[in-house]
Amino acid sequence: MKKLFSLFAVIFMAMSMWAQSWDLCTIDQLTATDIFVIVDANTGKAMTNDKGTSAAPAATAVTVTEDGNNISGVTDVMKWNISGNAEDGYTIYPNGVTDKWLYATATNNGLRVGNNNAKTFKIENHTNGEPFLKHVGTSRYIGVYSSQD
User: Helix, strand, coil: what percent of the chain each, to 5?
Assistant: 5, 40, 55
pLDDT tens, position by position, 85-144: 889 999 999 999 999 999 988 877 778 999 988 899 998 877 777 777 888 988 887 765
pLDDT of residue 107: 76
CA–CA distance, 53 with 41 (Å, rounded to integer): 25
Q: What is the pLDDT of residue 59?
A: 85
Per-residue DSSP letter, 78: G
Beta bridge partners, 10, equal 7, 40
Q: How far apart are CA 100 and CA 113, in angstroms?
A: 6
CA dihedral for 108, 112, 116, 122, sign (positive or negative):
positive
Alpha-carbon distances of 123 from 42, 58, 90, rounded to whole Å: 20, 23, 9
